[in-house]
Chains A and B, each alone.
Chain A
Amino acid sequence: MKKLKITAVIIQALFCACISSAEIKESGVPAESQDSATQESLWLRMGGKWQFQEGRATDTRVFPVYWNYHELMNYSSLVAETEPEEFTRMTAVFKLDTPKLEYSEALIVFAMNSPYKHYYYSFFAVKLSGDKEKIRRAELIVSSRTDDTLPYTAKNNYKIETLASVPWEMEYGRDCTFRIDRSKTTVTFYADSRKILTQKLPVKTQQELKGKFALGARGAAISIDSCKIINGKKTVFEDDFETNSVYVPTVKAVQVKK
């Protein structure tokens, strides 16, 4: 009789342990969908942690995470979903805060292309760079894939070349209207309507300038107020960041007791 009682107690204890372990296993499952995407997303998050407040998209990560598959992944960056046949003007209003690192870098990217999915090896960009005090330089850069025979998973298979570089100073913490005007294969970069640099691009046809647009920064927090892309008189892309318009590819994970 006593043995029976002991056996019953052991079985009960085991049963309770099983139930509590099952509860732990399921407790992490989120009720809602993990997908932050909206049907009308205008941007794809390439990096960073973005907040949407007061009509701005602000990166809160600042510190770069280096993936090294292509340069834009190493920035807190957003890729515009649109890919217009042509563009004549791109404007972006944003500010960079005082850097948390010893440097700051920002990219205004155009004519961005990938041979597969989102491996954006090829692009042109205006790159702004500075130190702790202020932004000091504006450059026009071009990125390209180094070895076409390597798989997409190959790291550092791209190179960045500088096409033009000019000293230019701007304070941190204030909005600036950046503008890139394209005329045939020449681009001109303006900051608050002031011409900073002009450069003929190393392409043969305007068709080679077809591609996506992106904005990004690292070292300093970028806060974007608006972005507009125009072709002639037609606006082909516009976002004032009044709502969250960024798609973040998401992986759903659940904590389990193991």
Chain B
Amino acid sequence: MFDKRNNDDTNEVSRLFCTLLQEKKMKKLITLLMTALLACLFAACDEDETTQLRWENQSGDQTAEEIKWVSDADSTAYDYAETLTADGQKTAFREIDSKDLKGTGECVLDGVPGEIMSEVGKAIILPEGQSSTYEIRSVAKK
């Protein structure tokens, strides 16, 4: 009688232990699912990342004054406050609207707006959702 009762108790304990184990597994599973969900959310956030543009002077200490990003869409001009007078100087990043990704950089050269170009006669197209840095390499004044 005693033995049988003792046996039943042992079974009960082992069942409880199994349930606990399952719960632990469930917890692990839930934790994993939560992590995956968070990862998905982060990935989604990445897709919505803004397009940014900044300029860096590497022109041999020539001055790049009042830089603008001028959109081809409707000539919206994004102004950069910094005047880059020496190599290594950078402007801050400016957020560019998705409709303004195609355009031209411009800056003042002795009273004339000069075009900032990476290729002759071609507009620059900024990669959407990325931060771009353009190095100013040389200035052709008149």
Contact = CB atoms under 8 A, between A and B. Distances in A.
A46 B110 CA distance: 11
Contacts, number: 124
A250 interface: yes
B6 to A, nearest CB: 51
Contacts of A117: 110-112
A253 B114 contact: no
What secondary structure prevails in chain B residues at the interface with A? strand
B86 interface: no
A253 B137 contact: yes
B111 A114 contact: yes
B113 A250 contact: no
Interface in B105-128: 105-121, 124
A9 interface: no
Contacts of B112: 44-46, 73, 117-118, 249
B140 A249 contact: yes
Interface of A: 28, 30, 32-37, 44-47, 49, 61-67, 69-70, 73, 114, 116-120, 152-153, 247-258
A153 B55 contact: no
Interface stretch (B21-29, B41-49, B61-69): B61-69
Contact of A253 (B70, B134, B141): B134
B109 to A, nearest CB: 5
A30 B119 CA distance: 6
A44 B142 CA distance: 9
